[in-house]
Amino acid sequence: MNDPIETYAALHTAPEPPLLAQLTRETHLQLLMPRMSSGHAQGRLLSMLSHLIRPRRILEIGTFCGYATLCMAEGLADNGLIHTIEIDPEKESRIRRYVAAAGLTERVQLYIGAALDVLPGLVDEVWDLVFIDADKRSNDAYFEAVIEQVRPGGLLIVDNVLWGNKVLPAHEVKASDKDTPLVRAFNDKIARDSRVEPVFLPLRDGLLLLRKKI
């Protein structure tokens, strides 16, 4: 929040709900790389998009602390469910604690494991909203694994597509950097993919919004 534009935007965005503010503080105190959490502005955007869609089924790949999970749950349809996948078992207790505190235990299904191992067990679901926020090398694999299950007109969101601005053409990629070329390749592929309509938002570390075409 050192950027004055970000500070101004936050002051003119709906406030962070108290439970999420508590989760933000705990994440910064207790977890490594707390910026992996969606945070205030991005969280309010996820909440708004979910409210607009009123999804029955949400898929989240990469739960981390559960912040985005709670944000997207705010817009769930009355009979809606979120399926969320987190690879790190050490994060499970915190996720479940905050899901329970939000009164969402019956509406959030948490899976602990590698997403590409979990997803085959969810092939009967039809997704209204998908949020991909896991390891960036696998963005394309996750996208291809779920795109056929997204309903026509449904929304996919991919996080960190700016990748610290390293995707920009002027950035020189070091030979040891295996992630940046893959993020660039995914972004370029999606820009040409006839199955989706993309909008690239330079919010925080970049959000890619994809509407599945009918």
Percent of the chain whose pLDDT exceeds 90: 86
pLDDT-derived band at 148 (thresholds 50, 70, 90) equals very high
The mean pLDDT of 171-182, rounded to a whole number, is: 89
Spatial contact of 34 and 56, defined as CB atoms under 8 Å apart? no
Q: State the residue for tokens 């570390």.
A: 205
The reported pLDDT for the residue numbered 47 is 98
What the block records as the tokens of 141 is 């694999």
Q: What is the mean pLDDT of the chain?
A: 95
Is 90 exceeded by the pLDDT of residue 72? Answer: yes
Residues shown for the chain: 214
pTM, to two decimals: 0.94
CATH number given to 4-212: 3.40.50.150
The mean pLDDT of 22-30, rounded to a whole number, is: 94
> Pick from 94, 47, 97: which is nearest to 70 by CA?
47
Kindly report, residue by residue over 92-112, the tens digit of the pLDDT.
999 999 999 999 999 999 999
CA distance 125 to 28: 34
Is 60 exceeded by the pLDDT of residue 1? Answer: no
The reported pLDDT for the residue numbered 2 is 67
Is 70 exceeded by the pLDDT of residue 156? Answer: yes
CA distance 18 to 31: 19
User: 3-state class of 151 per DSSP?
Assistant: strand
Spatial contact of 210 and 139, defined as CB atoms under 8 Å apart? no
Spatial contact of 136 and 183, defined as CB atoms under 8 Å apart? yes
The reported pLDDT for the residue numbered 32 is 81
pLDDT-derived band at 35 (thresholds 50, 70, 90) equals confident
CA distance 63 to 71: 12
* Torsion 92-130-150-107 (CA) sign: positive
Is 60 exceeded by the pLDDT of residue 69? Answer: yes
> Domain map of the chain by residue range?
4-212
